[in-house]
Each structure stands twice: as C-alpha cells, then as structure tokens.
Amino acid sequence: MPGNTFGQLFRLTTFGESHGAALGGIIDGCPAGLVLDLAAVQEELDRRRPGSTALGTARTEGDRVEFLSGVIDPALVNDVPELVEEGSVITLGTPIGFILRNQDARSGDYDALKKIYRPGHADLTWDLKYGIRDHRGGGRSSARETACRVVGGAIARQLLAREGTVVQAYVSQVGEEVLQVPPSELRFEGLWLDPVRCPDAATSARMAALIEQVRSEGDSVGGVVSCMVRRMPQGLGEPVFSKLDADLAGAMLGINAAKGFEIGSGFRAAAMRGSEHNGALEMGYRITEESEEAGYRVEEPAAVSSNDHSGGTLGGISSGEDMHFAVAFKPPATIARPQRTVDVDLMEVTLEAKGRHDPCVVPRAVPIVEAMTCLVLADHLLRQRTARL
C-alpha cells in the first residue's frame, strides 16, 4: 500500500488503524541537533485528540506520544550548543520513531457495518480498490490517523521556529455562520480554550449554538478553517511541479473531509480584472523577528505587494510576506438519521448509524491544518537550503 509518506527531505511516514493496537510514524530528514520541547509536542496532540472539545466525539483517547528513536537526552550529549530546558531532547539526525496507543476503541459499535457501505465514507471505494477493509471505525481511512500528522507537524513547527515563522489556524466558518472580523484585527489568546477554535467570542457562540442544534437534530454541518503564516521565509517553493501553494493544496486536501482549498483571493479572482488583482510592488519592510511580550520588532527592507490577493506566493514561490489560505470541510458523513445505502451484495438497506462521532469536524481540524502546513514549510525550507550557494 503506497501513499503513506509525505514530503521529500523532511518526510513523515505513518502507520496504524483506528481500532488497531496503536498508530505511529517515522520522521526522516529532521536535522541533527534540533532541541525538541516534548511537552509542546504533547500539547499540540492534546488540541486534536478525541474529547478535546465538548462539541466533538465522545471517544476519549489519551494520545500520549511515545518516542522510540531518533532523539537523545541532553545529559548524554557533550557540548550541548544551547541552553536546554528540562524535558527537552535533542535530535540525532536519525529516523524519529513514535507510537500512540489506542485505548478507547469500541469495535463492537461497528459490528453492524461489516457488510454495509456507509454513505459519504470510503467503505465502498476501499472495497473496490483492495477487496478487503477494516470496518471498525474506518480502519486506516479514519481521521484517527491524523494524530500522527500532528506529531510530525509539531516537530516541524519547532524547526520553523528557528526562522521565526509562526503558523496559526482558526475556524472562520461553521455552516452559514461566517467570521466577519478582518484577520489583521484577530487576537488568538485563549483560542485553544474556545470549544469552536474561533478567535471572536460572539461568532464562536453562534457557531457553537449551530453545532449543538445540528447534533440535536441527528445531523452534521461543515465549515472552513483559515490559516495565516507570519514571518515566512523567502524563496520557498519550486517554480514548476512543486509550487509552494500547490503542495499546500495537496496537503490540505489530503486531510479527511477536506473538500476545498483557496489561497489569497482564491475563487474570488475569477471575477476580477488583472488591474484589480495585481498588487503593485512597493518599497516596504518585512518583519523578521518580533516579541509581543518583550515589545520589540525587527524589520528589514523588502519589496511588498499593495494587496494580499497573492496570499504570500508569486509563481509558486514565497515572497516573504504573510501567507493566508482557507480549507473547506464537508459535514461529517456519519449522522444519527436513517440513510439509504447498499450492502456488499448490492442489496438496498437503511443504515442507522451508532457510535461516537463529531457533528462538525472543523474545531478538531484546526491543529491538523497547522500540522500539515508546518510539514510542507519545513520540507521546503530544507529544500531551499540546497537551491543556491
């Protein structure tokens, strides 16, 4: 089964099924000598895990990551190059192996699905491709696999932090409820305490009420996760087959339930004139380092665009300006309403789903969007280091 590895230089390979003994992964290509804060990795996993928000599934996995290889205790290393905090480890440059043990799987909830194809799920296509499938929670096609992506993304984020790069995603739409506050005015303090992961309290309350409403109706609802990248490195992306925005699109559409991607002006560009869409290049400044706590900012001269329609890339290569994009997610396919479908014998049946499911996936998709963004950027960062002397 191919297609389990993501990236070229910074590579993540994942394994495991939703109701198997464990999930896991191998990160290859992470440079040696990177000081990793393991508590920060676990914190990102906690943001994605089942039960992390009251608006999601009732499955309650601990998702404690166990590292098996590729890192070493700083106490065992001579000449540690920087101050290392307690609980940190140092990468060896060798493959980083990790596992996440499944602890709260209830496979019996899926017994009735052994011979039934769920509408909107991968059950039918999985059987068509392989002739065999794990019906328990969707097996490997389950969004449970994304926990491994979050581990990889958390490590990639710490590599990007050395460049000052900050990746921040948030929920900007649930159903017909749309966040109207401009991105420049958003404040993200306390975002992870908000059950919807929307940075505006009033909009979040309306979104939460809508999610609870569709849950009570036995239905589900879709939404949009937006993402901003600040202090982007310049020159990331290849000019032909591996454009930065194209790789981001592939990464986002590879997330379970993702159905749309747009960067910058996105689909709005179809209704624009070139004179409107083109951003004039002007002499300006780009922020290379800043600290809100310390109250300082470092800027350097740069060519900047007069608008944000490009989303931070030109010709598939990053300009160094802030990047922004959005990912649309469909309503979860499993709902508590009767649905018409067929079984493996192509006999029509009525499915009444049981089990524990999210009425809306976007709150838990936020850390996954961040993780995939970090994986793409870390991979391109390492590739850029080979592009010129």
Task: Note the CATH number of domain 5-264+310-384.
Answer: 3.60.150.10
Work out the pLDDT band at 288, boundaries 50, 70, 90.
Answer: confident
pLDDT the model gives residue 268: 92
Q: Strand 65-67 vs strand 35-37: parallel, antiparallel, or unpaired?
A: unpaired
Comparing CA positions, the residue from 229, 223, 227 lying closest to residue 258 is: 223
Instruction: Kindly tell me if the per-residue pLDDT of 277 is higher than 70.
Output: yes
H/E element, 259: strand 258-263
Comparing CA positions, the residue from 216, 181, 175 lying closest to residue 196 is: 175
pLDDT tens for each residue of 30-73: 999 999 999 999 999 999 987 666 675 555 567 899 999 999 99
pLDDT tens for each residue of 90-132: 999 999 999 999 886 666 667 777 888 888 888 899 899 999 8
The residue with tokens 């065992």 is 76
- Two structure tokens written together for 299: 């800027």
Q: Strand 348-351 vs strand 65-67: parallel, antiparallel, or unpaired?
A: unpaired
**Residues, the chain, total?**
389
pLDDT tens for each residue of 144-202: 999 999 999 999 999 999 999 999 999 999 999 999 999 889 999 999 999 999 999 99
Domain ranges (residues) in the chain: 5-264+310-384, 265-309
- Two structure tokens written together for 306: 């007069």
Residue 42 φ/ψ, nearest 5 degrees: -65, -35
Least confident among 158-172, 175-189, 225-239, 346-360: 346-360
- Two structure tokens written together for 180: 């109207």
The pTM is what? 0.91
The residue with tokens 């936020």 is 366
Comparing CA positions, the residue from 303, 230, 321, 307 lying closest to residue 269 is: 307
325 touches 263 (CB < 8 A)? yes
